[in-house]
A and B are shown apart, each in its own frame.
Chain A
Amino acid sequence: DTGVSQNPRHKITKRGQNVTFRCDPISEHNRLYWYRQTLGQGPEFLTYFQNEAQLEKSRLLSDRFSAERPKGSFSTLEIQRTEQGDSAMYLCASSLARGQGNSPLHFGNGTRLTVT
């Protein structure tokens, strides 16, 4: 178990640029989640995948945000035309779900985005 890996750890970009983050979940986990966390707040749900299928998206996920998990392994989160309000920590988590019920999430260390 090598844990959930996120890259890059930090990203500084100028307003209007596109950015892409990568998440490598724990290898046997079939569910992958993206969350956003701002200072002093708890993680806010963005979207999740079961294998390669994106099954749920939050209303927080505007049209500028897109996530993929093409082979049911790693995932990417892209933000187009970044805005200063996108500055946050982006967290990835994975879990192993069997049938009904939710197993706990295992989080990566996050990618901190700063939009200048």
Chain B
Amino acid sequence: GNSVTQMEGPVTLSEEAFLTINCTYTATGYPSLFWYVQYPGEGLQLLLKATKADDKGSNKGFEATYRKETTSFHLEKGSVQVSDSAVYFCALTNYNYGQNFVFGPGTRLSVLP
């Protein structure tokens, strides 16, 4: 079946540090990949997406590249801010194998000033 694995948190960084949150997936065929973010006290929001191999999704300084050869979709940001503190979820959906979205367990990021 479809599944998503994320690096365990929490991740604690200083402001302006480089961020990588690893995400790998298992799926048959060609899933679409997503990163969602959940800020404290808020609902999940779409951060970025990629729908085919080698696509790069980007938003708010975050980037992730769909790597089919390594089944990965790692999230990166060159310089984090305190306001980036949140929980980040990697997710996939696989149209030919059901319409539901499968989420990873989430990675909590804390950015210190």
Q: Are A48 and B99 in contact (CB under 8 A)?
A: yes
Question: In this assembly, does A102 line the interface, its C-beta being within 8 Å of a C-beta of chain B?
Answer: yes
Summarize B's interface: helix, strand, loop or mixed.
strand
Question: In this assembly, does B45 line the interface, its C-beta being within 8 Å of a C-beta of chain A?
Answer: yes
Give min CB distance, A107 to chain B, whole Å.
4
Give min CB distance, B83 to chain A, whole Å.
19
Q: Which of A36-71 contact B (CB under 8 A)?
A: 40-45, 48, 50, 55-56, 58
Question: In this assembly, does B18 line the interface, its C-beta being within 8 Å of a C-beta of chain A?
Answer: no
B binding-site residues for A, Cβ under 8 Å: 4, 32, 34, 36, 42-46, 49, 51, 89, 91, 93, 95, 98-106
A binding-site residues for B, Cβ under 8 Å: 4, 31, 33, 35, 40-45, 48, 50, 55-56, 58, 91, 93, 97, 100-102, 104-110
